[in-house]
Each structure stands twice: as structure tokens, then as C-alpha cells.
């Protein structure tokens, strides 16, 4: 069955991904107005948007609805959601600009390396560091969008929750995992692209030498056999007077 762009766009996983992208201006609008109610709504919308990150990919694999456009949209949605939130938080003075620069640089570097690796037919598996980075990133931005201090009065204890401070510390933890995962990916890229082919080339040359030597021996044996056959044939003919 031929591919249809409209059919791929309208399947359930891609519809979820497009909905996640469409929610970006919603939580940005509520974040920009900076009130307790608006910040709480922005926090909830972003939390739902970030928490459903796994849903579209899981549904696509379960229902066998993996598409080319889905492979493009899913990572794009993740990056757009995070970058949009961080840029708005920088604008509001809740996050330092250098943190966002490091996060964006990491995403560009890893995406570039992954593209080059794919063009070479190499797949570099993502490590646990990247998953930790994503989890802490979603949690940190959720608290930073919540922003204000909220009194927590539980049955056995009570305290004031400074959402902005908690979000800032979680963001620094996610930044650590961002840099760590980028370094791990870079070393994996170097290993796969530059070191492994050298070893494979060495083995290929050795195998090629063995094949060439075997071929030469086979040709020599064939030539010797032909010569023996020619002498035997000549001896079998009656001599001429």
C-alpha cells in the first residue's frame, strides 16, 4: 500500500505529537502573565505535555503505526517544548541564560552527531544518562513554571514549598546529566566511526590477503593440472615415423 502524508498525519501517535506541539503556546501564554493561578495552569499544562512524551512512541510501536513523519515529529516536539519553556523562563528572569545556552548547544551537538552516524549506517544507542536528563528536565521546568511559594500542610508535618528554588536545583541536576550524556554520546561516536572501522579494515585486509593467496594457490594447482593433462595426452598419442 502506498504511503499517504494525510493518513500518516492523522494516525493516533502523530495526532498526540501534534497536540503536544499545539499546547506550547498555551502554557507560554499562562506563564507570561505571572500570577499564582496562571502559573499553576501553566505548570499543569506543561506537566501533561511532558509526561505524555512516551505515549506517542509507545502507541506507534504497539499498534505498528511507526511512520517517517512520526520519526521526525516526535523528537522535534520534545525539543520545541523544552526550548520554548526555557526561553520564556529566561525572559522572566527565572533561569540564567548560560544554562539555556548549554542545553541548546548539547541538543545541537548530539543531533548533529546522530545525523552523521546515521549517514554512515551506524546506530549509537542512547544511554541511561539521557533518560535521567529528560526526567529531571521535565520536573525542573514544571517547578519553575509553578514559581511561587506554596504552604504544604500535611498530617504529620508542614512547610513552605519554594517551587522556584526546587526547580532551579533540579535544572542544575538535569544540566549535569545533559553534559554527561553528551560526552558519552561523543565518545561512542568516536569509537563507532573512527576506531571500529580501522579494526575492521585490518581484518578485511588480512582476509583479502588470505583470499588472494588461496586464489593464487588454486590457479597454480590448476595450471599444474593442465600441464600434467597435456603431457599425458601427448604420451597417449602414437608416435610418428
Tell me, rounded to whole angstroms, the distance of Cα 76 from its chain centroid.
11
* Of 158 and 200, the one with more pLDDT: 158
Of 95, 98, 124, 99, nearest to 110 (Cα)?
124
Report percent pLDDT > 90 for the chain: 31
Measure the CA–CA gap between 26 and 32, rounded to whole angstroms. 10
Residue 64 φ/ψ region, left for φ over 0, alpha for ψ in the -120 to 50 degree band, beta for the rest? left
pTM (2 d.p.): 0.73
Rounded to the nearest angstrom, the gap between the alpha carbon of residue 192 and the centroid of all alpha carbons in its chain is 16
State pLDDT tens for residues 34-51: 888 999 999 999 988 887
**Residue 179 confidence (pLDDT):** 92
Q: What is the pLDDT of residue 71?
A: 79
Q: What's the pLDDT at 212?
A: 47
Q: Where is pLDDT greater, at 170 or 203?
A: 170
Lowest mean pLDDT among 7-21, 85-99, 163-177, 185-199: 185-199
Whole-number mean pLDDT of the chain? 78
pLDDT band at 226 (very low <50, low <70, confident <90, very high): low
Max mean pLDDT among 54-58, 67-71, 163-167 falls in: 163-167
pLDDT category of residue 223 using cuts at 50, 70 and 90:
low
**pLDDT tens track for 121-177:** 777 776 788 888 888 999 999 999 998 888 887 777 788 888 999 999 999 999 999
Question: What is the structure's pLDDT at 187?
Answer: 86
- With beta carbons less than 8 A apart as the criterion, state whether 101 and 10 touch: no
Q: How confident is the model at residue 200 (pLDDT cuts 50, 70, 90)?
A: very low
Q: Which residues contact 87 (CB under 8 A, 6 or more apart)?
A: 100
Amino acid at each position: 500500500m502506498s504511503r499517504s502524508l494525510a493518513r500518516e498525519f492523522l494516525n493516533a501517535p502523530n495526532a498526540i505529537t501534534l497536540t503536544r506541539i499545539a499546547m506550547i503556546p498555551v502554557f507560554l501564554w499562562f506563564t507570561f502573565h505571572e500570577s499564582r493561578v496562571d502559573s499553576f495552569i501553566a505548570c499543569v499544562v506543561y506537566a501533561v505535555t511532558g509526561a505524555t512524551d512516551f505515549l506517542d512512541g509507545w502507541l506507534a510501536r504497539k499498534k505498528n503505526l511507526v511512520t517517517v513523519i512520526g520519526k521526525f515529529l516526535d523528537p522535534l516536539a520534545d525539543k520545541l517544548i523544552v526550548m520554548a519553556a526555557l526561553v520564556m523562563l529566561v525572559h522572566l528572569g527565572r533561569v540564567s541564560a548560560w544554562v539555556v545556552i548549554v542545553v541548546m548547544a548539547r541538543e545541537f551537538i548530539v543531533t548533529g552527531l546522530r545525523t552523521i552516524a546515521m549517514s554512515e549506517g551506524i546506530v549509537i544507542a542512547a544511554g541511561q544518562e539521557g533518560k535521567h536528563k529528560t526526567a529531571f528536565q521535565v520536573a525542573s521546568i514544571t517547578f519553575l513554571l509553578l514559581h511561587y511559594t506554596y504552604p504544604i500542610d500535611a498530617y504529620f508535618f508542614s512547610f513552605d514549598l519554594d517551587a522556584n528554588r526546587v526547580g532551579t536545583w533540579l535544572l542544575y541536576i538535569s544540566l549535569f546529566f545533559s553534559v554527561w550524556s553528551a560526552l558519552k554520546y561523543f565518545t561512542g561516536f568516536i569509537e563507532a566511526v573512527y576506531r571500529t572501522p580501522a579494526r575492521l579494515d585490518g581484518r578485511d585486509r588480512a582476509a583479502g590477503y588470505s583470499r588472494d593467496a588461496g586464489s593464487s594457490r588454486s590457479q597454480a594447482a590448476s595450471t599444474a593440472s593442465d600441464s600434467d593433462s597435456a603431457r599425458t595426452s601427448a604420451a597417449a598419442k602414437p608416435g610418428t615415423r
